[in-house]
A and B are shown apart, each in its own frame.
Chain A
């Protein structure tokens, strides 16, 4: 069964992403499942960046540590990563001459030299791609097709040079005369008979979800790792009649989204934790004015600027409580791009229905990781704006109702719409009537119990020996760890949360039934564990917390789980 892991490393700006993306797309077209994780630094040029690409015959949902192939676009990659290559693996590119031993093949290749002979340094990316494909034992037909599509807009000359670059790369590998212990990928596949795989990253899925939700206004301040959503939506603004505005700061971004929503748009903003800090005041404004908005927080390690390009799940308790005093809100953390697509539509719909802010927690790992699927689906459909005013009685924006949801209207119709950040009366005008204040706070908070009924139960796989509990982007790796430990004869369950707040009813029974719970999170304290303890009064003392900015990889997490059991 094919399951190989390759790593492409180099300096920022050297083409690491180009090579890994080309390999991912080409190999997906050969019918393999691919899973690629990006690791980059907060800089434009230089430094060290790499992409981990896993290629397999079976669907995969996590990255592995042990490498079959290491592609070194610079020497630093070799120095940093050669120890991760397993027996029989290959290191190619700027490898230096030291042999790492352990049966690792060393294949020093001058990608750049070849590229310069072809006329430009940029062709080095396709030289490297061609070389890797040759090592894998994959023909170049699909690669040529990819090159033709990707470089078509740059003209036939560029396409031709890149095709040559691919061939040169493959030829170098053949000319080395090196015999690899086995061709990595089985050649029996006829590419024409293989159905293509869908490749999608978290940011693409969140952006696409917003489009499908009927989002008509997106305002944001660029902040890694959420910027991909801004770029994705801006590229489609024209085709969808979407207003995309780069705000002067996150404060403006969320206030714009609220203003747009008040005026009748379906509005969203996106940021990372630091930007979310600036949005807290606005979040409260959305709550007090009961204006629906969707906010995406693509988490990264903090506090403060922290690690801009790395991953974390440190904002769960923060977004749960963000902004002063209390108000109802939704918090979701989609588990993968497929779910993210649907989550955004749900978030828009539920924000609309309950007139509350809906927060989606993503993270750098989900944002930048590209998953592959046989098929993609979108079960959710956007709902139309819900206007419940009967048109006869005097319009009251904040009319008291049994479920706390008041009739919403947009300005510009016959009725005047008055919204206020101050405590207000049913008409929306500010008040200091303290008895009324109590009534209005109860009205807003009343929604929470109805909102709870909308929330979905966690994803559950049963296991006898232990139960891994997680949330958001760790779902895929938890599945992989379960599989890995199963091979060692252990029966591991998974309880994974995508709907985080309000937590659905009936959780306590589920969690009581789950043997040996181990909560797995990318933060220091175990924030989900704390939330579950608070909500269910059950103890969750066993926690595996990773907070170095890197995602969990399968082998490492499996070892950690074995240790705590």
Chain B
């Protein structure tokens, strides 16, 4: 389906069959269906294959540093609350290099949506373990198999009371769109961990592997219940739940700032500048 968010004249650098294609299309359609115009949207990304996504969208783009998309997105939203701000990158970028920023963005609760293409592997650097790779995952860099346990981003975010925490699967576009809609419409910090098969470097977590395991959380799941959400987030293996695990509406960072720092000074007008100058100088006497 064509959308106003389709980029013209770009060459996509992803592998054929990559889960990223499904995520990209779902995002374009969701933005369109939610009624956004490209100029209202800023997509901030880091580095990695997933982080190239904003270049394949017709939106405002800030493709920054590896791991650093969240502080950039936070600042853009704080300065321009009227813009829709999305931070989009992979598991290595968001959970590895940028893990600390994720933790603190949860505390600040800016109204941004963080989309993590989670393929449990480093693609662009050719196949090393990522923070979400399973224990024992073998690669050139982990010849003994991954000695560390995988990070559970959902449990982490839920335990810290994040605004909205969800998991989606790149192989189910309609399901993904539904979750993206909820996340993008949510007022506050939203984390969407998107399970994305890597057709080149992750022979374990394939489309088929996921299709056998994933299921959507039903009506019996209460996303307002932090403990239940946490418990659900621990489920991984034969059955992998998808959907909105947790929802915790609270005032956003930019709302708090707007309340407190409303005043505007026009320093470009000489009279106002002089007045402020004299006022400040008087305090130094």
Contacting residues, chain A, for B34 (C-beta < 8 A)? none
> Which listed segment binds B: A88-96, A281-289, A355-363?
A281-289
Chain B min CB distance to A549 (Å): 28
> Which listed segment binds B: A39-47, A126-134, A375-383, A473-481?
A375-383
Q: A423 CA to B260 CA in the complex, in Å?
A: 39
Chain B min CB distance to A340 (Å): 13
User: Which A residues between 392 and 436 are near B, CB-CB below 8 angstroms?
Assistant: 410-422, 428-430
Chain B min CB distance to A490 (Å): 36
Q: A249 CA to B101 CA in the complex, in Å?
A: 9
Q: Is the CB of A416 within 8 A of B39?
A: yes
Known A197-B285, A212-B273, A411-B83: A259·B61 in contact at CB below 8 Å: no
- Any B CB within 8 A of the CB of A308: no
- Any B CB within 8 A of the CB of A442: no
Contacting residues, chain B, for A418 (C-beta < 8 A)? 55, 60-61, 63
Q: Encode contact with A along B55-97: 1 for CB under 8 Å, 0 otherwise.
A: 1001111111100100111111011101100000000000000
User: Which A residues between 198 and 213 are near B, CB-CB below 8 angstroms?
Assistant: 198-200, 204, 208, 211-213
Q: Is the CB of A376 within 8 A of B260?
A: no
Contacting residues, chain A, for B80 (C-beta < 8 A)? 263-264, 410-412
Q: Which residue of B lies closest to A208 (CB)?
A: B280
Contacting residues, chain A, for B47 (C-beta < 8 A)? 421
Q: Is the CB of A259 within 8 A of B261?
A: no
Known A248-B103, A262-B72: A241·B281 in contact at CB below 8 Å: no
Q: Is the CB of A429 within 8 A of B10?
A: yes
Q: Is the CB of B62 within 8 A of A289?
A: yes
Chain A min CB distance to B125 (Å): 15
User: Which A residues between 242 and 264 are near B, CB-CB below 8 angstroms?
Assistant: 242-243, 245, 247-249, 251-253, 255-260, 262-264
Known A217-B75, A260-B79, A429-B10: A240·B103 in contact at CB below 8 Å: no
The range of chain B's interface size is 35 or more
Known A256-B74, A260-B76, A384-B268: A416·B58 in contact at CB below 8 Å: yes
Q: Is the CB of A289 within 8 A of B78?
A: no
Q: Is the CB of A420 within 8 A of B284?
A: no
Chain A min CB distance to B235 (Å): 30
Q: Which residue of B lies closest to A239 (CB)?
A: B263
Known A217-B79, A219-B75, A412-B80: A240·B263 in contact at CB below 8 Å: yes
Contacting residues, chain B, for A249 (C-beta < 8 A)? 100
Q: Encode contact with B along A256-298: 1 for CB under 8 Å, 0 otherwise.
A: 1111101111010000000000000110010001000000000
- Any B CB within 8 A of the CB of A364: no
Contacting residues, chain B, for A204 (C-beta < 8 A)? 284
- Any A CB within 8 A of the CB of B127: no
Q: A428 CA to B62 CA in the complex, in Å?
A: 9
- Any A CB within 8 A of the CB of B267: yes
Q: Is the CB of A212 within 8 A of B72?
A: no
- Any A CB within 8 A of the CB of B52: yes
Q: Is the CB of A421 within 8 A of B257?
A: no
Q: A496 CA to B59 CA in the complex, in Å?
A: 48
Known A238-B263, A241-B264, A430-B55: A421·B63 in contact at CB below 8 Å: yes
Contacting residues, chain B, for A410 (C-beta < 8 A)? 80
Contacting residues, chain A, for B10 (C-beta < 8 A)? 429
Q: A361 CA to B87 CA in the complex, in Å?
A: 33
Q: Which residue of A lies closest to B58 (CB)?
A: A416
Q: A320 CA to B83 CA in the complex, in Å?
A: 36
Q: Is the CB of A256 within 8 A of B39?
A: no
Contacting residues, chain A, for B75 (C-beta < 8 A)? 217, 219, 245, 255-260, 263, 265, 267
Contacting residues, chain B, for A267 (C-beta < 8 A)? 75
Q: A382 CA to B272 CA in the complex, in Å?
A: 12
Known A241-B262, A281-B65: A264·B79 in contact at CB below 8 Å: yes
Q: Is the CB of B71 within 8 A of A259?
A: yes
User: Which B residues between 245 and 276 are near A, CB-CB below 8 angstroms?
Assistant: 257, 260-265, 267-268, 270, 273, 276
Q: A429 CA to B54 CA in the complex, in Å?
A: 9
Q: A418 CA to B7 CA in the complex, in Å?
A: 12
Q: Is the CB of A285 within 8 A of B261?
A: no
Q: Is the CB of B260 within 8 A of A248?
A: no
Contacting residues, chain A, for B101 (C-beta < 8 A)? 248, 251-252
Q: Is the CB of B59 within 8 A of A237?
A: no
Which interface residue of B60, B78, B281 has the most chain A CB atoms within 10 A? B60
User: Which A residues between 483 and 502 are near B, CB-CB below 8 angstroms?
Assistant: none
Q: A425 CA to B75 CA in the complex, in Å?
A: 25
Contacting residues, chain B, for A281 (C-beta < 8 A)? 65, 68
Q: Is the CB of B263 within 8 A of A382?
A: no
Known A214-B267, A252-B104: A198·B285 in contact at CB below 8 Å: yes
Q: A422 CA to B64 CA in the complex, in Å?
A: 8
- Any A CB within 8 A of the CB of B184: no
Q: Is the CB of B263 within 8 A of A241?
A: yes
Known A219-B75, A237-B260: A262·B62 in contact at CB below 8 Å: yes
Contacting residues, chain B, for A199 (C-beta < 8 A)? 284-285
- Any B CB within 8 A of the CB of A216: yes
- Any A CB within 8 A of the CB of B40: yes
Q: A213 CA to B267 CA in the complex, in Å?
A: 8
Q: Encode contact with B along A499-528: 1 for CB under 8 Å, 0 otherwise.
A: 000000000000000000000000000000
- Any B CB within 8 A of the CB of A196: yes
Name B68's contact: one of A282, A411, A420, A429 (CB within 8 Å): A282
Known A211-B280, A212-B273, A264-B79: A255·B65 in contact at CB below 8 Å: yes
- Any A CB within 8 A of the CB of B277: yes
Q: A267 CA to B270 CA in the complex, in Å?
A: 22
Contacting residues, chain A, for B264 (C-beta < 8 A)? 241
Q: Which residue of A lies closest to B102 (CB)?
A: A248
Q: Is the CB of B82 within 8 A of A263?
A: no
Q: Encode contact with A along B27-66: 1 for CB under 8 Å, 0 otherwise.
A: 0000000000011101010010000100100111111110
12 A-B residue pairings within 8 Å (CB atoms): A214-B268, A217-B75, A238-B260, A241-B265, A252-B71, A256-B72, A263-B80, A267-B75, A412-B83, A421-B65, A422-B63, A429-B55
> Could you list 5 further interchain pairs (A-B, Cβ under 8 angstroms) beyond the known A249-B100, A412-B39?
A204-B284, A256-B71, A264-B79, A382-B268, A416-B61
Please name the 6 residue pairs, one residue from A and one from B, whose CB atoms are nearest each other, closest first.
Answer: A259-B75, A259-B72, A411-B60, A255-B71, A248-B104, A260-B75
Q: Which A residues are closer than 8 A to B by beta carbons?
A: 196-200, 204, 208, 211-214, 216-217, 219, 237-243, 245, 247-249, 251-253, 255-260, 262-265, 267, 281-282, 285, 289, 376, 378, 381-382, 384, 410-422, 428-430
